[in-house]
Amino acid sequence: MDGNTNQFGQSQKIVIVEDNVSLADIYKTRLELLGYSCFTAYDGIAALNIIEKELPDLVLLDLMVPKIAGDQILETMRKSEWGRTIPVFIISNLNESDAPAGLREMGIEGYAVKANLSNNQLDELVDNILKPAEQKEDVLLETKENEGTISLGDHNE
């Protein structure tokens, strides 16, 4: 575990909604190695049940899943007391222009096309959503205090 915990000291929870079992397992394995607790759902009914039960810190949502489509999962979450504020990131084979209208209006953290998303990019986007800003700043402050030997993003010396 590398410290990806919520304010109660528990591992942050991610629900992965993906009907491609192999891909879901890859996401789950990678994110668990980063210290997150992951749950997978392979269809929309299972997804809503797991999301409502676990109240995760993030949902990675495929749009084209059986039983209940991803956009309907998102809509159901946003209309419910329990799912209104849970961050959702869409990962789909559809380009965003081909996706159902209104996803951004329902409040999503972002949208990625599976084919364009590397494993490292997945790790980074999850960390960017779930790591609080003050955690990131602490890292920067520590490096700045290191007698100027390490500078992040400033190469004009």
138-152 per-position pLDDT tens digit: 444 443 343 433 333
- For the chain, what are the domain ranges? 13-131
Determine the residue type at 33: L
If one counts every other C-beta atom within 10 angstroms of the C-beta of residue 156, the result is 4
pTM given for the model: 0.82
The CATH class given to the 13-131 domain equals alpha beta
pLDDT tens per residue, range 22-43:
999 999 999 999 999 999 999 9
Closest CA to 131 of 53, 17, 47, 35: 35
Percent of the chain with pLDDT over 90: 75
> Alpha carbon 131 to chain centroid distance?
11
State the pLDDT confidence band at 117, using cuts at 50, 70 and 90. very high
How high is the pLDDT of residue 6? 67
